[in-house]
Amino acid sequence: MMIQDANSSLMEQLMFFHDHTIMILSMITIMVAYIMISLMKTSMINRYLLEGQTIELIWTMLPAITLIFIALPSLRLLYMIDEINNPSITLKVIGHQWYWSYEYSDFGETEFDSYMKPMNEMKPENMRLLDVDNRTVLPMNTQTRIIITAADVLHSWAIPALGIKIDAVPGRLNQGMINMNRPGIMYGQCSEICGANHSFMPIVIESTTTENFLNWINSL
């Protein structure tokens, strides 16, 4: 009920898998509750029953089949998350205590830092504790590779609307892929406890057209 609106095909698939799994869990919960209530209400019991090969086979096979129905879509999603096909743009993200740095390596030395916007600089349309002074602008309908690392301690770059959450590890480059379906503004936060100001290093991605993106890059 509280999942953000998806802005990538990957997040849409994650939401479908979530609904699929919740439906299976609901069916199991209802069935088990019905069996427990029936057992508590009935007075017909067999005190001399020692074993039941048939029922034991059934309650072993049914959970195994259920797990297969959950595992196959899950494995498909895991492969989709790791798949990177011919990225058009590469964005490098560096986590610091307590802000993010961004580098557009395909456009020369284009880089900037992104800090949480302080209360005295906020406008009525800004989101408290979520808006930043320099938003990260990316073109929609474009394969974008995200390369993530950290300069000091562990961080985690997470955008729920894009279905992406990648750990930022010092001395290591992790990568992922995003492809946004529509224009808009997406908010995220550091998802790894990284110190006293962990809650104050938000992420803002602004999805726009390719033309607007190129105009923004040229203005930096």
CATH topology of domain 89-218: Immunoglobulin-like (2.60.40)
How far is 155 from 148, CA to CA, in rounded Å?
10
Give the position of tokens 């086979």.
Answer: 57
* DSSP label of 180: B
DSSP secondary structure of 80-135: HHH-----SEEEEEEEETTEEEEEEGGGSSEEEEE-BPPGGG--TTSPTTT-BSS-
Give, for all 220 residues of the chain, the pLDDT tens digit.
Answer: 778 888 998 899 999 999 999 999 999 999 999 989 988 888 777 777 778 888 889 989 999 999 999 999 999 998 888 888 888 899 999 999 999 999 998 888 889 999 999 888 888 888 888 999 999 999 999 999 999 999 999 999 999 999 999 999 999 999 999 999 999 999 999 999 999 999 999 999 999 999 999 999 988 7
207: which 2 tokens? 């999805």
pLDDT at 106: 86
In terms of Cβ atoms closer than 10 Å to its own Cβ (0-12, 13-18, 19+), residue 166 is: buried
pLDDT at 52: 82
pLDDT of 105 reads 86
| DSSP state for residue 204 in the 8-state scheme | E
Give the CATH number of domain 1-38+58-83; options: 1.10.1240.10, 3.40.630.30, 1.10.287.90, 2.40.100.10.
Answer: 1.10.287.90
> Domain map of the chain by residue range?
1-38+58-83, 89-218
